[in-house]
Structures are given as C-alpha cells and as structure tokens.
C-alpha cells in the first residue's frame, strides 16, 4: 500500500516504517511540524518517501494515518488536493496520547465518525478516551530491538524525559530530585530539552549505550500513554523502578522491576538495585524477555497490516 502520514512521533514512526509498504511523508523547506520529512537522527528505509504539497495533491494514496486534530480538521485535506480522509480516502486516526482534563470531558476529536477508525497505542488510552460511536482498535507498541546492551557498570539510575520542564508533573519531572535524594543514588537525565535540568540530549544509539551502563531505569511518568523509552530500556536489559500508573502495570511484570505509587518504596528499590548488581542483572534479563514477548516488532507490524487491510477494504 501507499500510506500517507506525517512525521510526528519519531520513535513510533521508526517502527511503523519498517513494514512492507511505501510511506509518503510530508516535507516543507523549514522541516517544521507541518512537514518534517524523513527523520534526521533515525535510520529509515528507502520506502519512506518525502512529498511536497504539490506532489501529495496528485499522489495515489491508499490510506491516511492521522495523528493530530489539525490533520483531521483541515491539514490532510489541504495536502491531498481536497480529498477528505475517511470520506474520500480510507483513514485511521492514531492516538498516541492519554487524554487530558476531567473524566467526563475526555471527548476524542474523532468521536462519532463512521468513516474512520481510532487506533490507540494502549488499552489504557482506549479506556479513558471517549470516542462515542467511532470504531476503535488497540495496537500496542512494537520497537526495533536495540539488543541486550546492559552492563549496569555504573551504580547510577537513568531516566528519559523529553521536554521535562514544559511537561512538568505529567512526566513526573518534580519526582526526579526527590527520588535521587531519598535513594542516595545519582539519577542521570536524558532527553530532548533537558539541558536546563542538567540532562543531556543524545542520538538514539548513543543514548541506548549510556542507558545500558546505568544500573537501573526509572520511569516517573504520572500520565503518559506509555513511554517508548521504557520499552527500549527493557529491551536493553535494564531493571525498572517506576510509578504504577497508566499502562506501566501491564508492561513491567514483578520479576522485571518495582512499581509503586509510594516514593519511599521507589527510592528503596533504586537504592537496593544500585547496591546489588546481580539482582539488577536478573531483573533486567526478565525485563528484556517481557518486552520481547509483548512489544516485538513483528507482532506490531503484523497487527498494523491487518488493520490497514481492513480499513482499505
């Protein structure tokens, strides 16, 4: 198929474009949010083709994968020469995010649409979003396996948060210092726009190497869909200490880490694992096994193939 989608979420798209289709990705000269084009820091296959607005308007497209409200409202129609997603071209609305706001007001922008499908990346997302009569599916994440790189040679913890200042309590930014202080274990921050908090932003491969040197991975997210970096850390073979919120309780089995909503329990777990490299190694091995079993790339691509075929049919 020829699949038209924007480059919105780099890590997710890296997995998605490993499939057998041709992927048309909008590009603009400034490579801003409306046209980022191909990834600059991930290795995408040649089947990912950049298209300008003029090229998109006349391109043969089998299915559109929408990811933002503005794409559904007007952007896709503008790029596709007036063709409306769902009405003129088969469409899936991919929902990456957990909803924000009061429970009774969590209405999805694609609610009550009979001409498309909303695909959630976690069952937690589908539970909380109100999509009305719109058909829904869940296709859980799958990632390109970075390999078992864990050494745990540094008795330190690692956390990855993109834009921690802007996202604040949502990503548990306020919990990072208390966890480090109460555990007595240095916690190293990685991710985009972390410099003001002393963090570092590295290319993905380099970040994976640095994460794998840390003894334990910390997942302080209060309210996110499910951080792909958590799955990457588990694939690396890292034990996990994190909040028992959103989809984390489905993702991290007891033998792979410690989940709790008590900061003292989390701090004690970080302290214990930092002091016991063998326990950390065993937990990390279990984390990798769990991640491979549930979030493997083959299952992910197979699920998407089935959904795309059904939507087009």
In a domain, 16, yes or no: yes
One domain, residues 284 and 168: yes
Rounded CA separation 217/170 (Å): 18
Q: What is the number of structural domains in the chain?
A: 2
Q: What is the CATH number of the domain that holds 244?
A: 3.40.50.2000
Question: Which pLDDT score is estimated for 40?
Answer: 87
Range of the domain at 39: 2-142+297-312
The predicted-structure confidence for 241-254, as pLDDT tens digits, reads as follows: 999 999 999 999 99
Shared domain check, 120 and 28: yes
* Residues 175, 186 within the same domain: yes
Looking only at the bridges linking them, the beta strands covering 22-26 and 48-51 are parallel
The whole-number average pLDDT for the span 186-196 is 95
Orientation of helix 277-294 relative to helix 228-236, angle to 10°:
120
Evaluate whether residue 148 is within a structural domain.
Answer: no
Mean of all residue pLDDT scores within the chain: 96
The verdict on 189 and 289 lying in the same domain is: yes
Residues 58 and 97 in one domain: yes
Query: Average pLDDT, stretch 4-29?
Result: 97
> What per-residue confidence (pLDDT) applies to 227?
87
For the cut 90, the answer to whether the pLDDT of residue 96 exceeds it is yes
Let me know if residue 38 belongs to a domain.
yes
What local confidence, expressed as pLDDT, does residue 12 receive? 96
Looking at the domain assignment, is residue 147 inside a domain? no
- 239 with 279, same domain? yes
Same-domain pairing of 71 and 192: no
Does 288 share its domain with 308?
Answer: no
Do 131 and 224 reside in the same domain of the chain?
A: no
| pTM to 2 decimal places | 0.93
Question: Are both 75 and 189 inside the same structural domain?
Answer: no
Predicted confidence at residue 43, as pLDDT, reads 85
Q: How far apart are CA 138 and CA 124, in angstroms?
A: 10
3-state secondary structure 256-307: HEEECCCHHHHHHHHHHHHHCHHHHHHHHHHHHHHHHHHCCHHHHHHHHHHH
In a domain, 135, yes or no: yes
Are 245 and 162 part of one and the same domain?
yes
pLDDT at 42: 81
Query: Same structural domain for residues 36 and 158?
Result: no
- 161 belongs to a structural domain: yes
To the nearest 10 degrees (0 to 180), the angle between helices 263-275 and 173-183 is 50
CA 214 – CA 205 distance, rounded (Å): 15
What average pLDDT does the segment 299-306 reach? 98
State mean pLDDT over 206-235.
Answer: 96
User: pLDDT value at position 41?
Assistant: 80
């Amino acid at each position: 198929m020829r699949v038209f989608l924007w480059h919105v979420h780099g890590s997710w798209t890296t997995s998605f474009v490993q499939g057998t289709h041709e992927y048309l990705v909008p590009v603009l000269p400034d490579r801003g949010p409306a046209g980022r084009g191909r990834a600059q820091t991930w290795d995408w296959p040649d089947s990912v083709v950049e298209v300008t607005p003029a090229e998109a308007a006349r391109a043969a497209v089998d299915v559109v994968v929408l990811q933002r409200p503005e794409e559904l409202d007007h952007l896709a129609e503008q790029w596709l020469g007036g063709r409306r997603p769902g009405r003129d071209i088969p469409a899936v609305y991919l929902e990456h995010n957990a909803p924000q706001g009061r429970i009774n007001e969590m209405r999805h922008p694609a609610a009550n649409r009979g001409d498309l499908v909303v695909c959630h990346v976690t069952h937690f997302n589908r539970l909380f979003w109100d999509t009305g009569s719109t058909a829904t599916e869940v296709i859980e994440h799958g990632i390109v396996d970075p390999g078992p790189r864990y050494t745990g040679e540094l008795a330190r913890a690692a956390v990855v948060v993109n834009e921690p200042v802007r996202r604040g309590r949502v990503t548990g930014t306020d919990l990072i210092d208390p966890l480090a202080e109460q555990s007595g274990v240095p916690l190293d921050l990685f991710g985009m726009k972390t410099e003001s908090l002393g963090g570092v932003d590295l290319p993905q491969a380099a970040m994976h190497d640095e994460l794998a040197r840390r003894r334990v991975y910390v997942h302080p997210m209060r309210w996110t869909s499910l951080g792909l970096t958590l799955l990457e850390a588990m694939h690396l073979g890292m034990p996990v200490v994190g909040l028992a919120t959103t989809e984390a309780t489905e993702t991290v089995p007891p033998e792979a880490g410690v989940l709790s909503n008590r900061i003292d329990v989390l701090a004690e777990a970080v302290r214990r694992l930092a002091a016991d490299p063998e326990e950390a190694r065993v937990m990390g091995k279990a984390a990798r096994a769990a991640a491979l079993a549930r979030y493997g790339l083959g299952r992910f691509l197979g699920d998407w193939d089935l959904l795309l075929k059904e939507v087009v049919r």
